[in-house]
Chains A and B, each alone.
Chain A
């Protein structure tokens, strides 16, 4: 079946530091890949997505590239802010056939950014 593995957290950084959160996946076929973010006390928000190999998703300074050869979708940001403190979830969807877009999530990575 499908699975997603994220780097162990939590991750603590100083403001303006470079961020990488690793994500690798196992799936059949050609999944779509997502990063969701959960701010304290809120629900999951879609941060970015990529639907095919070599696609780069980007939003709010975050980027991730769909690498089929390494089955990875690492999240990066060049300069983090305190407001980026949140839990980040990598996820995949294998919609099509009998699947109606079920998302499979990684375990989540807690990011804390200090001033």
Chain B
């Protein structure tokens, strides 16, 4: 069964450093998403991406964040200068044209020290 994959599973970085989180969505899907979950809190929407551009973003997704689909398979989330409060589990998701079902990856745990 096709699945969304994410790498790395755990990333430790120092405050102020740039990080890139990688995702490989399901191959025939057209809509891509990033969510995050700070420990003990809700899963929060960050951004959606369709047709090679951001279609919607939350107030969390400020200028420090960017997304890219550099080739036909990868979907990346970049944080330019990490802060302590960026420590969270980051989930990538994808869906097909139907929009209603999103398939999630296993997540990347980001720890900022």
Contact of A100 among B4, B6, B31 (CB under 8 A): B31
Q: Could you say which residues of chain A place their CB within 8 Å of the CB of B44? A: 105
Residues A100 and B100 in contact, CB atoms below 8 Å apart: no
Question: Residues of B within 8 Å of A, CB-based: how many?
Answer: 27
Majority DSSP secondary structure for residues of A touching B: strand
Which residues of chain A from 85 to 102 have a CB within 8 Å of any chain B CB? 89, 91, 93, 95, 98-102
Majority DSSP secondary structure for residues of B touching A: strand
Residues B103 and A100 in contact, CB atoms below 8 Å apart: no
Question: Residues of A within 8 Å of B, CB-based: how many?
Answer: 24
Residues B104 and A45 in contact, CB atoms below 8 Å apart: yes
B interface residues (Cβ-Cβ under 8 A, vs A): 4, 6, 31, 33, 35, 41-45, 48, 50, 55-56, 58, 91, 93, 95, 99-107
